[in-house]
Amino acid sequence: MTEFGIVLRGGPYQTQRWETAYGMADAALKRSDGVTIFLYMDGVYNALAPQDFESMKKLPKDHIEALLDRGAQIFACLTCTDNRGLEDGRAYLKRVQVTGSTEAGEMVSKCDRIINL
């Protein structure tokens, strides 16, 4: 089994980075590989629970929930959330863990492949 780490730095509606991250994580999980995602910089906006856009059938939060349901671990940078006024991740999906950037270092040490988006 391969362990994949994804550092997602882009916000959900700026680029398609979140969709690329989801696609890679989905493919890895289908192969029974491990997946850890670290939300960093504007990437922390991808895990906000109160997203609601009628024009989108599936929102970034829905994709993140699906990955969590299938065993992915998802972390958000505490400094990034605080500096964006997100109050320690209180508005996040419940299973997204808000943590220090040391978790990114842990991810790098345990993963076979790191993808930076």
**What are the structural domains of the chain?**
3-116 (3.40.1260.10)
pLDDT of residue 37: 97
106 has pLDDT over 80: yes
pLDDT of residue 88: 65
CB atoms within 10 A of CB 86: 19
Burial (Cβ within 10 Å: 0-12, 13-18, ≥19) of residue 66 = middle
C-alpha dihedral sign at 63, 65, 68, 74 = positive
Name 37's bridge partners: 6, 74
| pLDDT per residue as tens digits for the range 35-71 | 999 999 999 999 988 877 777 778 888 999 999 999 9
The pLDDT of 73-86, averaged and rounded, is 91
Tracing tokens 């730095």 back to the chain, one arrives at 9
